[in-house]
Amino acid sequence: MSTYPKIMRTASRLGLGAAVALLLAGGAGAQEKFPSKPIEVVTHAGVGGGTDLTARMMMVQAPAALGAEFVVANKTGGSGSASLGYANSRPKDGYTIMLITQTHLLTLLQGKAGAVQPGDLIGLARATEDPQVLMVGAKSPYKTAQDFIEASKTKPMKYGTTQLGSVDHLAVAGFATKAGLAKPVVVPFRGGGDIVVNLVGGNLDAALLNYAEAESQIKAGEVRPLLVFAPTKMDSLPQTPTATEIGIPAVYSTTRGFAVLKGTPEDRIKVLEDGLIKAMQGKLFQDYLKSSGQSGGSVVGRAAWQAQIDEFFSTGKEALASLGITK
Amino acid sequence: MDAFIAGMAILTDPYMVGIILAGTVVGVVVGALPGLSGSTTAALLLPITITMTPVAGIAFLGAIYCAANFGGSITAILINTPGDPSASATAYDGYPMARNGEAGRALGISTIASAIGGIFSVFVLIVAAPLLAKAAYSFGPPEYFALAIFGLSMLAAVGASAGIRNLIMGAFGVLLATVGLDLMTGVERFTFGVAELSEGLELVPVLTGLFAISELLVQAGRLQIVPERMGLTAMRLPSMADYRKCAKAIGLSSVLGTFIGILPALGATTAALISYNETKRWSKYKDEFGKGSIEGVAGPEAANNAAVGGSMVPTLALGIPGSATTAIILAGLIVQGVRPGPHLFNEQPTLLYAVFASMLAANLIYIVLGLFGAKLFARITLIPDAILWPGVLIFAIIGAYGPNQSLVDVWVMLGFGVIGYVMRRYGFSPAPLVMGLVLGKLVEETLKQSLLIFDQNWLLFFTRPIVLTLFVVTMLGLCAPWLARAIRGGAKSARPPADAR
């Protein structure tokens, strides 16, 4: 019942006076069919980036699962704050969903997202869970994770990362703390590609990257993966041990998932969750996951995804503070 | 080799040939239109390429780039108004030739010289780009820093206006490069709380504003003047005597143009101006220059098309644009999800060879267009401004909004339109500003990355051979005017009157 004024507002804004009349004539008991118009997916990534690609891969099979068209809105800028601000400016009626990454969560934690607060996010479904992998160049003297960790205890290693306060920066810092290493030197780059080149060229000692970012160099033997920060071994790297296996309880990954903002009706959240999961269980999305070295288990529903978001908020706050990024 | 054949095979695909043909026609048309240059058009049409496959999109932009440099010569010769800035040197002798009733001969040699220069540079690209890409793993932040410094040292020569004005604009561009989130500290600079600006100023809206919107404002301040057009009775292929006379000019300018193109920042306009000087210096008929010398047309036309292939070398191999237009092609590649740089040669060699093939094809297609259609293309200048410029404005707004769906980008574009207009009124060229914007960011970031890698010891720069070589070349370039004067003993420079376009 409480959704009525909202529907009317949206409808009149679109100039659909006739639709409103029809709806009223249908009687107060009639539920509007959801979804009945295109759903907008807001991402902070530019067209062609990894996150944008994830959104578009999901969209291929989503129309069949949800019975609605999807469009992507790329709102770049402010490490996700532009996309959060845009989503907040739209009606909370389920027709605007966000594809978020840890970047959004970190932006929220730093209070840089305007009116949107960390508690406003409602997870729908997780899309990708791409583990971070510790890698060194082929010319590096360190052949195994143990070699590398042993040497790192006295020598501050140079790691390539994307931006300060980014997911991989937090992971580098967390890994160093948990393994008791000397404070690492962090060299920020614009993207994973630059980091790979500098690993091969010997300008960096190590980096935490996703498998896909260095796939061709790993296959060519130019980059050596040493350690996987995942709970279990990766299918694409069966030889590489996990951090847990060598006694360091560290799990880091690049995570992407869908979310809406608080205020979206509960029944619509359920429809979206079911539809998104169904779409992402489809062959096309699963093939996409496989080709980037991820497991099909990346796709999980609302409960597990929300728990992960909450967990990240609680650990991320401390991590940012320890890096001196937030007070 | 398989990749080479697969790449060349796109020329058997009717869709691809259609795309290249369309790009070439568009390129010649906008090249011929005064005010609309190849780089502006590439920026305006960038959103359209998003809907194409990566190969088709880049082939389309590449064909525009190749053909626009030729198209500019049509109007330069017939109405003494270079249709593209790179054709400004062509007008020095092309228009006098047309006045002497030799418009057909001038256009003929311009077509052939452009094609020879263009094809030569594509072959250099095919050989040089993979070699450079192989060396790319030895290109870390210190090497990029030295390369960017080298590029900045060239800024004075980038545009068509005087050196000191170019330096002022270049410095302004470097200042603008500081807008956005600082990569090293995570601090936002000059964003004034606008989230969209935290990624820095987007290149495409800045370029569209500086080139297209400012031109629109310039045109709006003018009465519609129907320029005096030289009669063109028939297109004439150059005679054997013409070839013999121009062989040296074309050969010299092709090599020079390709080399200038490869240097970061410097593109077709600079290549054409320098080649005009050199052609004159080495010519046996110096006194013909300025009065209708056929060599004076052949030289700059070979050079500006040769610069196209040359400037694609660093763009594809290192991801550093060799000119303003390649900066847009670079943006086009990134929008398509293709990351330029050494990986391209390992991961997507077919895409590269397809780009090479399409550039070769574009150079061949405009020979045909030039020889048979020049008369038609010359009529383009008859399009009323009242139809042309509103169309440009619409494309400019769509082009600025499209990639990021951001109204901020549209405001940035309009703002830079006004800035560009004011600059041009006072004789400043926008090209150095663009290169300053691109190189400024690179200089700052790579310097800080290098210092982190070197444990803050800047002396370690001098332990890297590539860095050392680039520093020496930069110093030589900066001292070149004095060195040249010392060698020539004060011989008079052959620089033609500067065109303020």
Give residue A14's pLDDT. 39
**Angstrom distances, CA of residue A141 to CA of A147, A195, B138, B401, B470:** 9, 18, 18, 49, 30
Cβ separation of A165 and B140 shorter than 8 Å? no
For residue B453, the chain A residues in CB contact (below 8 A) are: 158, 187, 203-204
CA atoms of B271 and B266, how far apart (whole Å):
7
pLDDT at B35 over 80: no
Which of residues 243 through 262 in chain A touch B, CB cutoff 8 A? none
Cβ separation of B183 and A73 shorter than 8 Å? no
* Contact by Cβ (8 Å): B45, B331: no
Q: Residue A149 — φ and ψ, nearest 5°?
A: -65, -40
Which of residues 175 through 204 in chain A touch B, CB cutoff 8 A? 185-191, 193, 196-198, 200-201, 203-204
> Mean of the pLDDT values across residues B148-173?
81
Beta strands in A112-163 (DSSP E): 121-137, 158-162
pLDDT at A48 over 70: no
For residue A198, the chain B residues in CB contact (below 8 A) are: 140-141
Tell me the CA end-to-end span of chain A in Å, nearest whole number: 44
Q: Which CATH class is domain A4-129+255-322?
A: alpha beta
pLDDT at A31 over 70: no
Chain A contact for B139 (CB, 8 A cutoff): yes
A19 class by beta-carbon count within 10 Å (0-12 exposed, 13-18 middle, 19+ buried): middle
Residue where the block lists tokens 């048309």:
B29
Grouping H, G, I as helix, E, B as strand and the rest as coil, residue B455 is coil
| A310 — pLDDT class (breaks 50, 70, 90) | very high
For residues A242, A245, A247, A253, the Cα torsion angle rounded to the nearest 10 degrees is 30
For residue A193, the chain B residues in CB contact (below 8 A) are: 339, 341, 343
Residue where the block lists tokens 């370039």:
B477
CA atoms of B67 and B31, how far apart (whole Å):
7
Q: Where are the domains of chain A?
A: 4-129+255-322, 131-253
The first and second tokens of residue A218, run together, are: 């790993």
Residues B364-367: contacts with CB under 8 Å, at least 24 apart: B364/B115, B364/B119, B365/B20, B365/B21, B365/B24, B365/B63, B365/B67, B366/B24, B366/B27, B366/B28, B366/B66, B366/B67, B366/B70, B366/B71, B366/B111, B366/B114, B366/B115, B367/B111, B367/B112, B367/B115
Cβ separation of B406 and A75 shorter than 8 Å? yes
Chain A contact for B185 (CB, 8 A cutoff): yes
pLDDT tens track for A193-239:
778 888 988 999 999 988 877 877 888 888 999 999 988 888 888 89
Nearest chain B residue to A78 by CA distance is: B195
> Mean of the pLDDT values across residues A141-154?
93
CA atoms of A320 and A311, how far apart (whole Å):
14
Beta carbons within 8 Å of A110's beta carbon, 6+ residues apart: A165, A320, A325, A326
pLDDT at B99 over 70: yes
* Contact by Cβ (8 Å): B348, B7: no
Q: How far is A77 from chain B, CA to nearest CA, in Å? A: 4
For residue A74, the chain B residues in CB contact (below 8 A) are: 403-405
For residue A189, the chain B residues in CB contact (below 8 A) are: 183, 449
> Mean of the pLDDT values across residues B345-365?
85
| A57 — pLDDT class (breaks 50, 70, 90) | confident
Angle, vertex CA A168, rays to CA A162 and CA A170, nearest 5: 120
DSSP string, A237-256: BTTSPBTGGGT-----EEEE
The first and second tokens of residue B277, run together, are: 């000087």
| A16 — pLDDT class (breaks 50, 70, 90) | very low
For residue B194, the chain A residues in CB contact (below 8 A) are: 77
Residue predicted with more confidence, B194 or A242: A242
> Mean of the pLDDT values across residues B82-109?
84
Chain B contact for A75 (CB, 8 A cutoff): yes
Nearest to B185 among A164, A189, A193 (CB): A164
For residue A76, the chain B residues in CB contact (below 8 A) are: 196, 199, 404, 406
Q: Which of B499, B202, B308, B346 is nearest to A200 (CA)?
A: B346
Q: Is the dihedral of CA B111, B117, B118, B119 positive or negative?
A: positive
For residue B481, say if its preceding peptide bond is cis, omega within 30 degrees of 0.
no
Tell me which range, A25-39, B370-384, B425-439, is most confidently predicted by mean pLDDT.
B425-439
Beta carbons within 8 Å of A119's beta carbon, 6+ residues apart: A262
Q: Look over chain A and give the mean of its residue pLDDT values, rounded to a whole number.
A: 83
Residue predicted with more confidence, A50 or A15: A50
| B18 — pLDDT class (breaks 50, 70, 90) | very high
Q: Considering only A277-286, B77-86, B154-163, which range has the smallest mean pLDDT?
A: B154-163
Q: Look over chain B and give the mean of its residue pLDDT values, rounded to a whole number.
A: 83
For residue B442, the chain A residues in CB contact (below 8 A) are: none
Q: How far is A159 from chain B, CA to nearest CA, in Å? A: 10
* Contact by Cβ (8 Å): B338, B344: yes
pLDDT tens track for B45-54:
887 887 788 8
* Chain B contact probe: residue of A41, A47, A110, A327 with most B CBs at under 10 A: A47
Chain A contact for B452 (CB, 8 A cutoff): yes
Give residue B227's pLDDT. 60
Nearest to A200 among B137, B181, B406 (CB): B137
Which of residues 93 through 132 in chain A touch B, CB cutoff 8 A? none
* Chain B contact probe: residue of A76, A199, A204 with most B CBs at under 10 A: A76
Portion of chain B with pLDDT greater than 70, in percent: 91
Angle, vertex CA B178, rays to CA B327 and CA B47, nearest 5: 35
The yes/no answer on whether domain A131-253 falls in CATH 3.40.190.10 is yes
Give residue B123's pLDDT. 92
Give residue A95's pLDDT. 93
Q: How far is B412 from chain A, CA to nearest CA, in Å? A: 14
3-state SS record for A138-150: CCCCCCCHHHHHH
> Mean of the pLDDT values across residues A21-28?
40
Nearest chain A residue to B133 by CA distance is: A197
For residue B181, the chain A residues in CB contact (below 8 A) are: 79, 163
pLDDT at B438 over 70: yes
Residue where the block lists tokens 């206006």:
B161
Cβ separation of A78 and B198 shorter than 8 Å? yes
Give residue B34's pLDDT. 73
Nearest to A48 among B199, B334, B347 (CB): B334
Chain B contact for A323 (CB, 8 A cutoff): no
> Mean of the pLDDT values across residues A265-279?
93
Nearest chain A residue to B345 by CA distance is: A216
Nearest to A190 among B183, B335, B346 (CB): B183
Buried b (16+ CB within 10 A) or exposed e, B325-363: bbbbbbbbbbbbebbbbbbbbeebbbbbbbbbbbbbbbb
Portion of chain A with pLDDT greater than 70, in percent: 88
Give residue A125's pLDDT. 94
Cβ separation of B336 and A48 shorter than 8 Å? yes
Give residue B277's pLDDT. 81
pLDDT at A7 over 50: no
Nearest chain B residue to A43 by CA distance is: B404
pLDDT at B82 over 80: no
| B473 — pLDDT class (breaks 50, 70, 90) | confident
Q: Which of A207, A241, A202, A39 is nearest to B138 (CA)?
A: A202
Give residue B421's pLDDT. 93
Give residue B476's pLDDT. 87
Beta carbons within 8 Å of B225's beta carbon, 6+ residues apart: none
pLDDT at A320 over 60: yes
Chain B contact for A47 (CB, 8 A cutoff): yes
Cβ separation of B453 and A204 shorter than 8 Å? yes
Nearest chain A residue to B199 by CA distance is: A77
Angle, vertex CA A135, rays to CA B445 and CA A291, nearest 5: 100
Domain A4-129+255-322 shares a fold with domain A131-253: yes
Give residue A5's pLDDT. 44
pLDDT tens track for B266-323:
778 878 888 888 888 888 888 888 888 899 999 999 999 999 989 888 888 877 777 7
Give residue B226's pLDDT. 60
Grouping H, G, I as helix, E, B as strand and the rest as coil, residue A320 is helix
Provide the 10 A C-beta neighbour count for residue A270. 13
Q: What DSSP element (H or E) covers B68?
A: helix B54-79
Q: Considering only B152-161, B329-338, B427-436, which range has the smallest mean pLDDT?
A: B152-161
The first and second tokens of residue A166, run together, are: 């980014």
Give residue A265's pLDDT. 93
Give residue A30's pLDDT. 41
Chain A contact for B184 (CB, 8 A cutoff): yes
Residues A321-324: contacts with CB under 8 Å, at least 24 apart: A322/A173, A322/A177, A323/A164, A323/A165, A323/A169, A323/A170, A323/A173
Q: Considering only A149-163, B311-325, B343-357, B378-392, which range has the smallest mean pLDDT?
A: B378-392
